[in-house]
Structure 1
Amino acid sequence: SLSSMGFAAGQAILPVVFVALFASFHWRSLWVLAAALVLITMPVMLLLLRQERTPQSMAQSTQSAGMDGQHWTRMQMTRHGLFWLMIPLVIGPPAWGTALFFQQVHLTEVKGWTLVSFVALMPLYTVTSVVSTFVSGWAIDRFGVTRVTPVQMLPFALSFAVLAFADTIAMAGVGLMIFGVGQGMQATATSVFWAEFYGTRYIGSIKAVGAALMVFGSAIGPGVTGLFIDLGVDFPQQMIPIAIYYAVAAIMATVGVLRYRKRLVAPATA
């Protein structure tokens, strides 16, 4: 929960800052500025990463096994049925979430809102996301990831349904706040899910697969929605099918969790 705060802060601050800069700078110049900021942070990251944050001796002694009491490799995971049931859950939020922000100019034009008023809602979305991140982290620690995973897609489905029918900027704010609830849950539950079901010994290679799926989703979301916009189906019209996608992803994840959670080995007690 804590480690995702930097991402949340960027989502709250940077859209407002860059929209404000549009009044004085050409959009190409802002892309150059964004690239420069990334390059500036790279030496800082390299300096910080020179210090080992999780000593290997500690990591070896605190490993947790997954299903059947074993540590699953990446190859074993990709051949397992639960992994395939979880793919829509992993891909959905980055795909359609990226599309939501990528198509915001088109969305505001169709809805008759100003772009500035829509971007001004981002801090509401981010605050909700931050609160949801900490609440979902607590819920996972308290009730387990198997209770949280089946419901983490539902806020996404509800948010797109609200945004599809929103006719005021206030309703758009409600939709974005509900979307923030889903983002907060996704930020914590997905990472914990991999470790819970597949163990921690090979968690780096396993999470790399999850990250690749997320990047793939982020790439296809804007492309798919843009294609349909070019075909005459505006983004608000696409939101109901997207909401249905999230609902189907929730059903698939629920089926997977209910089927395989009995294979989780209870931790030993002192």
Structure 2
Amino acid sequence: MSRRLVVNARYVLALCVLLGVTSYGEDLIREDIVYVDRDGIEVSYDVVPAAEPNGAAVLIMSSGGWFSAKRPVDQVKQGFGFLLDAGYTLVTIRHRSAPDFKVPDAVDDVQLAVRHVRHHANDYRIDPTRMAAMGFSSGGHLTLMIALDSDEGLTSDPDDLVASTPSHVAAAIAYFPPVDLENIVGPSERFPALDFDPSLATSVSPINFADQEDPPVLFLHGTADELVPLQNSVRMHEALTSVDVESQLSVFEGAPHGFRDPAHQERARTEILAFLSSHLGEN
């Protein structure tokens, strides 16, 4: 490297420090980490660390209507910069997507993804006991299935290290989640992932999984949500508190499905940071 380039690099670094520019651990970003290959379909996640990671992580479900696709890292940084700024490493988890795959497939995938992240936590500089799951709508549903239907491992086989890894998370954040699929399962043009065997609906409905071992949950839901009515979060919140699980229900007056009001968004960010600080602890 020439002397001029060295000087210029030092100048840019100094300028970034002075301006408070955040790099978000650019050199440690890992994309398209395959956590399972199902019949030739590779299912993956991305890891986006903070510039100054605190050792905790937020696992974000990339899911809307149980459709799942890769979200560019720049969009992740823009949408969840407040978490990166607070030191949280982000893991954006994808699952097999509608219309070809159904809700039970998505649940199986994201639960396995948690095991994979925990198994490789040291590689990502994450404390596996300080991970939270977060999702919006169908992603909120998957978040709750992760949090409420966890276990110590699917097998004791020492040769299957990922499957034998626990699937626990320390906390969960669910934006406007559907919690009971029994009444909505069936053919749907808008949500084809709901077209699965109705006998399986109970096994993928979070409302059926409240017990004393569940982690703390934060619900964020608007009173004007016509797609997933507020009663979903109310029912789940009441089910959790009835078994002495810490649950926080944050109701947003007049908010529809998806918070478009900047004031609602800012309030949600503030409450999320307080919740994570309380339940993921300090490094």
Which protein, 1 or 2, shows the higher relative CO under an 8 Å CA cutoff with sep ≥ 6?
1
Which range, TM-score by smaller chain? Answer: under 0.3
